[in-house]
Structure 1
Amino acid sequence: MTSGETAPSEQPGRLSGLDGIRGLAALFVVLHHCRLLSFPGFPADTGPAWASWLLYGHFAVVVFITLSGFSLAVSPARSGWRLGGLGRFARRRAWRILPPYWAALVFSLAVAWALVPQPGQGAPTAKSVVFHGLLVQDLFGSPSPNGAFWSIAIEAQLYFALPLLLLVVRRLGAVAMVAAVTVVVVAVGLLAGGVPAVGMLMRLTPQFAVLFAAGVLAAGVLRAPVRGPVRAALPWAALGAVVPVVALVAVQGPVWTVAHFFWVDLALAPAAGLLLAAVAGGRPRPLVRLLDSRPIRSLGSFSYSLYLVHAPVVVVLHHFVVAPRFEPGVTGFLVLLALAVPVSVVFARGFAALFELPFQRHRGTAALRAAVRERLSRARPVPEAPGE
């Protein structure tokens, strides 16, 4: 989500590069969905070898979930791992993620009902509206109006775990917290095949809890910044952790990888956490400068909206513009990319201006109403004086 967390750039002492990671991850998901529509048969690789890497959009969600844990733990890490009140935390999360999500849900339902449903899905039903509206679509089945919404429910559910994770960090330390979460999740994975009650927990994508916890651990870099050789070694440690996983995925291919997402995601948790710790510490500098460049940072500022609305846009363009004119294949794929990427980005930017960015800038109903009144007063023409 892939993710509705408050960006570090909105906090004092902005952490360079993290908005860029979020923006590139969201863009990768757009490319992934263009790839799936152009070359049917996923998870089988039915397209050209040079586009095979676009089959792995799932791993962008891995980045989102880890980054979500990191971003939400930044402030607690700077204040003794304390959340600052459960009620306040819940209100801020709801204010941040629900308005754009619900607006995107209305948009997605309208597209699915009036134009074209999502691939492999029927028209949304009343259950679709209820389950997606309440963010429990990962628990209860119904036709999905948006192929990207599955991860938003998981992330929202992880918010409920954050206070407990922080409590464990205060009592036992961040490393012990990650170890405890990992032990529980690995036990679920090992028992799921033989114990039906445990197997039901797999609907929650439990490995994402480890990724979320790894992000919380990475935020500890801000509480006790690493220096010297250790700081310089973080990017190399991240690279060393990810290379074996990438090599395994490349050798085994997408069919095996999709069937083993649970274990592959767990294997990626150290690399994802180390990458965030490195970037938060300003290393490697060339990568941080790239991620913090204006275009990429700008993309990150509305990445949540891009993630939320791109799927219906891509499907509509493919169904009405590309598919009638091009057979599935490379040409249709390139045309879809050329259309869907800029249209999705521009549409998401406009969507964010209405439904996401105002809720970032104004932290409550009163502040938002005051901003709207001020905007309307500036837009209202000033009456001319008599005789003018």
Structure 2
Amino acid sequence: MANTARGSRLSGTSPEQLRPTAYLDGLRGFAAFLVYWHHHQLWAHLPPQAAALESSFGFNGRHYFATLPGIRILFNGGHFAVAAFFVISGYVLSAKPLSLIHAGDQAGLADSLASALFRRWFRLFLPIICTTFVYMTLHQALGIWIDGLPLRPSYLRAVLDWSAEMMRFSFVFRADKSAVLSHNFHLWSIPVEFRGSLVIYTALLAFSRCGRNTRLWCEAALVFYLLCLVDDAHYALFAAGMLLRDLDQLAAADDLPPFLDDLLRRPRRPLGLSWAPLLLLALSVYLGGCPARIADVADMRRNPGWYLLSFLVPAPLSDAKWFFLFWAAVLLVGSLPHLPRLRRFFETPFCQHLGRVSYALYLVHGPVLSTLGDRLYAAVGWPGAGRSYNLPGWVNLFPLPMSGPIGLELAFLAPHLILLPITLYLAELVTKAVDEPSVRFAHWLYNKVASAPPPAGLPA
């Protein structure tokens, strides 16, 4: 009871107040933690070790515990986590519009999509603007050395450069969609998140007047088109989340198409359908640990356990790992409602708290890693480019043993006694001071705009 009460204070909800999809909040939070852990693994370890973590068990004769199937998710699960983010977003963003479509409420759908579209940019980019501006200011004012981020001649120059970069980054239709923020290059996925939102809202509007079966076929066709015919696996993840949500809401209303209804309601046998969610979860975990070192499918074929699977990758896909990450994330989100024990894990107070601060955790973990993290790794003995020249007072300040399995060395784990609490504290701070106010501001602004009278000749 003590743990439950403490977790309720952390998450801001009591167990009785959990929403039916609260497990997705917990999954999002746990996925954000996997991103944090993955980035630290790659930052601390030397390129040969980092490359091994991104490859399969036995690649180039290297057999590391951290690269075992299933286990590897805990060490390099950041790619899998981002794919899960996209599926969850498609699932959650389509929830209310789909309920209105099912109810035949076209007016309500139009209002819901208008509100969602208006607020989405503010919700995603206002926290980025605030956090990167503070980071840029502290970097310039304190003169902190950060690898790959040079100091500008003046604060004014730094502000102007940051402003220009932010303008390019926040315009999601720019030609160069691979551009990143120099003050937080981990945020490449946020423009993808916004464009994925547009895919969801546009598809929902386009399919809103279709019948049930036609709408489901159109959603499935959109997923197939994005994944297999064009090089847009990221947006296929959003569309798949929308399809999963549609199916779930139809199942809850006992309105599934007959062939799906017969399949899902078939009597369960000891070795029948009851085992399907576990098998799908096992397949998801294996596929989620796909080699991610190089995008080329030919490199994937050199990884033990992935030669035959690599031939499944559609030809248009430029980055082979996203085909397997697509199926891994879809299978995870699709099977999770049917796995009560795993679902309860993501509904625990700690996972719910991580879910509440997940976006802020995603925003702050990179700056903490490149500043304090870089210095702590230098202090315990991890070598790194430029540290001996730029951080001479930190190098080998408190050397620790490098022994132990890769990814679990004492010299790697010890810094997290400091890094993890500070990162979580900053995530909580940013959530309360920036993220939640940004959501409220977007709602307030839309209500102010929407309260304006309609143009002459249009109904109120």
Q: Decide: shared fold, TM above 0.5.
A: yes
Paired amino acid for 1:345: L
Aligned twin of 1:211: 237
The separation in 1 between residues aligned to 2:80 and 2:42, in whole angstroms, is 15
The separation in 2 between residues aligned to 1:118 and 1:169, in whole angstroms, is 48
Find 1:299's aligned residue among 345, 351, 354. Answer: 354
Percent identical among aligned pairs is 23
Q: CA shift at 1:102, angstroms? A: 1.7
Find 1:319's aligned residue among 352, 374, 393. Answer: 374
Report if the CA contact (8 A) 1:69-1:215 is conserved: yes
Aligned twin of 2:39: 33
Structure 1 residue 166 corresponds to structure 2 residue 204:
yes
Which deviations, in whole Å up to 9, do the C-alpha atoms of 1:49-70 show, x marking residues without a partner? 3444323412211111111111
Report if the CA contact (8 A) 1:128-1:143 is conserved: yes
Q: CA shift at 1:112, angstroms? A: 4.8
Q: How many residues align?
A: 338
Q: Which moved more, 1:52-61 or 1:121-130?
A: 121-130
Which deviations, in whole Å up to 9, do the C-alpha atoms of 1:338-368 show, x marking residues without a partner? 2222211111101101111234467633799
Structure 1 residue 65 corresponds to structure 2 residue 80:
no
Which structure would you say has the larger RCO, counting Cα contacts within 8 Å and 6 or more residues apart? Answer: 1
Report if the CA contact (8 A) 1:128-1:145 is conserved: no
Q: CA shift at 1:278, angstroms? A: 3.5
Paired amino acid for 2:83: V
Structure 1 residue 88 corresponds to structure 2 residue 115:
yes
The separation in 1 between residues aligned to 2:204 and 2:246, in whole angstroms, is 11
Report if the CA contact (8 A) 1:278-1:284 is conserved: yes
* Matches for 1:186-265 after TM superposition, within 5 Å: 186-189=228-231, 206-225=232-251, 228=265, 235-236=277-278, 238-239=280-281, 241-242=283-284, 245-246=287-288, 249=290, 253-256=291-294, 262-265=319-322
Paired amino acid for 1:166: L
Paired amino acid for 1:49: Y
Find 2:189's aligned residue among 134, 151, 157. Answer: 151
How big is the alpha-carbon RMSD for the aligned residues of Structure 1 and Structure 2? Answer: 3.5
Report if the CA contact (8 A) 1:235-1:275 is conserved: no
* Matches for 1:17-166 after TM superposition, within 5 Å: 17-41=23-47, 44-45=51-52, 49-52=64-67, 53=72, 54-80=75-101, 83-85=109-111, 86-113=113-140, 114=142, 116=144, 119-120=147-148, 125-126=161-162, 127-135=164-172, 139=177, 141=179, 144-166=182-204
Structure 1 residues 147 and 257: CA distance shift in structure 2, 3 A: same
Query: What residue ranges of structure 1 are gaps of 5+ in the alignment?
Result: 1-8, 190-205, 370-388
Calculate the TM-score normalised by the size of structure 1.
0.74
Aligned twin of 1:178: 220
The separation in 2 between residues aligned to 1:288 and 1:366, in whole angstroms, is 36
Report if the CA contact (8 A) 2:283-2:328 is conserved: yes
Which deviations, in whole Å up to 9, do the C-alpha atoms of 1:242-267 show, x marking residues without a partner? 255257x3xxx443567668333223
Q: CA shift at 1:118, angstroms? A: 6.1
Which deviations, in whole Å up to 9, do the C-alpha atoms of 1:210-266 show, x marking residues without a partner? 11111111111332126645995662363264255257x3xxx44356766833322
The separation in 1 between residues aligned to 2:29 and 2:143, in whole angstroms, is 28
Structure 1 residues 285 and 119: CA distance shift in structure 2, 3 A: farther
Which deviations, in whole Å up to 9, do the C-alpha atoms of 1:132-187 show, x marking residues without a partner? 34456862646621132100011112222223221454433234323334324433
SS at match of 1:262: coil
Q: Which moved more, 1:59-68 or 1:38-47?
A: 38-47
The separation in 2 between residues aligned to 1:263 and 1:18, in whole angstroms, is 26
Report if the CA contact (8 A) 2:146-2:371 is conserved: no
The separation in 1 between residues aligned to 2:30 and 2:180, in whole angstroms, is 30
Report if the CA contact (8 A) 2:233-2:326 is conserved: no
Structure 1 residues 55 and 240: CA distance shift in structure 2, 3 A: closer
Report if the CA contact (8 A) 1:78-1:222 is conserved: no
- Structure number with larger C-alpha Rg: 2
Report if the CA contact (8 A) 2:165-2:181 is conserved: yes
Which deviations, in whole Å up to 9, do the C-alpha atoms of 1:81-117 show, x marking residues without a partner? 6643343122231342232222122133335545557
SS at match of 1:145: coil
Q: CA shift at 1:19, angstroms? A: 0.8
The separation in 2 between residues aligned to 1:141 and 1:359, in whole angstroms, is 24
Aligned twin of 1:379: none
Q: CA shift at 1:15, angstroms? A: 1.3
More helix by share: 1
Structure 1 residues 254 and 177: CA distance shift in structure 2, 3 A: closer
Aligned twin of 1:194: none
Structure 1 residue 344 corresponds to structure 2 residue 423:
yes
Paired amino acid for 2:36: V
Q: CA shift at 1:80, angstroms? A: 1.4
Paired amino acid for 1:348: A
